Amino acid sequence: MKGELPYQEIERKIGYTFQDKRLLKEAFTHSSYSNQGGGRSNERLEYLGDSVLQLIVTEWQYLRDKNASEGKLTARRQKIVCKNALDSAVDALGIWQYLLSSGTEYNIRGKAKSSLFEAVTAAIYLDGGYAAAKSFVLEHGNVRFEVHEGNPKGDLKEFLEKRGAGEPRYEVEKTGKDNAPLFHCKAYALGESATGEGKTKREAESTAASRLLWELSKNPKFANMKKKK
């Protein structure tokens, strides 16, 4: 995306209104845009956001599960804050399209999506404090459902079975060279869809399933849906 940000639209999606709009713009400024005179990039915010996110998730897990070992808590935290989990959160929020960049989506993908979530977390932390950042992460950070643990495809199937829905459908496309393939998957269920990428078909399907489960779990219409008797 190029040009001025639709501040109110973004704030509505993330559920937070900034006092300092400059922080919001910085969070959405990719280095490719910054390098061409577009202001400060979000790299410093990403750096701060990584630590803020780690603290929020660590505290939440520590207070939530008082009997879990240090090793289990660490492994679970890593699942929650991994790239795929943060990518899913950005997709669910619908804010990726607002990233200010001068390159194509293909050229800027990499860690840009997960970095955006970390940058937004840091921007909220600086603007509104720890409580505001914590509220954002717990609401949108893929924390409460922890869908990236275990078997995403199996978890999605179980989620649908409990609600009397049919099995999810997957469409997979292969691109790239034979020695460096990239698989693109789209998962469908309950009229919703989510995408995933990976170096293998299994990885792409798992990512798509995890993202779809995350989106369905956040929607009260489906989260509270019960199987018809």
**Is residue 150 a contact partner of residue 160, using CB atoms and an 8 Å limit?**
no
Rounded-to-integer distance, Cα 144 and Cα 52, Å: 17
Of 26, 91, 118, 155, which one is the catalytic site residue?
A: 118
**Where do runs of H (alpha helix) occur along the chain?**
7-14, 21-27, 31-34, 43-64, 70-81, 83-93, 105-108, 112-128, 130-140, 152-161, 201-218, 220-223
Active site residue 20: no
Rounded-to-integer distance, Cα 117 and Cα 120, Å: 5
Active site residue 91: no
Of 50, 87, 91, 127, which one is the catalytic site residue?
A: 50
Q: Which of 148, 154, 147, 219 is nearest to 190 (CA)?
A: 219
Using a 10 angstrom Cβ sphere, with 0-12 exposed, 13-18 middle and 19 or more buried, the burial of residue 172 is middle
Strands 192-198, 180-189: pairing kind = antiparallel
The catalytic residues are 50, 118
